[in-house]
Amino acid sequence: MRLNRDFFTRKTILVSRDLLGKTLVHRDGENTYKGIIVETEAYINKEDDAAHFNKGLTDRTKIIDEVGGHIYIYNIYGMYQLFNIVAEKKGVHGAVLIRAIEPVEGIENMYKNRYKKPYHNEIKKREIINLTNGPAKLVMPYGITKDEYYGVDLATSTDIWVEDGLDLNKEDIVRSKRINIDYAEKGKDYLLRFHIKDNPFVSKK
């Protein structure tokens, strides 16, 4: 079942945690891509100095002001794009970074998109894990770009959405500090990273 608006308009931390086990679905007209969300990070309001929007909104972050469920994609290092989902009610700023996904459908096309070469039957397991086991790797195999999907609404889009997935127990979920935000004086110590315990697709530091 597709997740509706009510799921995304809750507190950012709850959305981040509860996205674990859910399935991100993308249809590009010809192909369908599906993957289980296995790792997320929450970025919360003005007090979170690790968040892009903690000092106010810009052209880059303006979508954060919209109601939860919209897609926020931004560039890093001039060559990678990171996929986030806006949380909270309109005007209350929060977003969830999707750090890693376990691919479950459309893997052949994900492979072609990611590695720019044909899929074959002798592919190593490491290549499959490497498809989506990090935040900068997600948009490539899914065939998603910032130009096309920035601001798209996951609650209403016919091309991309989030569905129910795995039923996780409390002990399946690990909570820890976020990764690669040492620049944040306070935020670096917040326990706002969530991942599925022992899942091989969870990103590495």
Task: Evaluate if residue 200 carries a pLDDT over 90.
Answer: yes
Q: What percent of the chain has pLDDT over 90?
A: 80
- What is the residue extent of each domain of the chain? 5-196
The model's pLDDT over 17-53, given as tens digits with 9 standing for 90+, comes to 999 999 999 999 889 999 999 999 999 987 899 998 9
3-state secondary structure of 9: coil
The model's pLDDT over 3-12, given as tens digits with 9 standing for 90+, comes to 999 999 999 9
The model's pLDDT over 150-192, given as tens digits with 9 standing for 90+, comes to 999 999 999 999 999 999 999 999 999 999 888 888 899 999 9
| Cα distance from N-terminal residue to C-terminal residue, the chain | 33
Predicted local confidence at residue 25, as pLDDT = 98
Radius of gyration of the chain (CA): 16
Predicted local confidence at residue 52, as pLDDT = 87
Predicted local confidence at residue 77, as pLDDT = 81
Predicted local confidence at residue 45, as pLDDT = 82
| Burial (CB count within 10 angstroms: exposed 0-12, middle 13-18, buried 19+), residue 158 | exposed
Task: Evaluate if residue 139 carries a pLDDT over 80.
Answer: yes
What 8-state DSSP symbol labels residue 90? T
**How many whole angstroms from its chain centre is CA 164?**
15
Predicted local confidence at residue 121, as pLDDT = 77
Report the alpha-carbon distance of residue 45 to residue 60 in Å, rounded. 16
Q: Which residues of 84-116 are buried (b: 16+ CB within 10 A; e: fewer)?
A: bbbbbeeebbbbbbbbbbbbeebbebbbebbee
> How would residue 54 be classed by pLDDT, with cut points 50, 70 and 90?
confident
Which class is 5-196 in CATH? alpha beta
Which residues make Cβ contacts (< 8 Å) with residue 202, sequence separation at least 6? Answer: 38, 39, 99, 100, 133, 195, 196
Task: Evaluate if residue 205 carries a pLDDT over 80.
Answer: no
Helices vs strands, H then E, count in the chain: 6, 8
The model's pLDDT over 58-108, given as tens digits with 9 standing for 90+, comes to 999 999 999 999 999 999 887 899 999 999 999 999 999 999 999 999 999
For the segment 115-124, the average pLDDT, to the nearest whole number, is 86
**CA atoms 46, 49, 50, 54: torsion sign:** positive
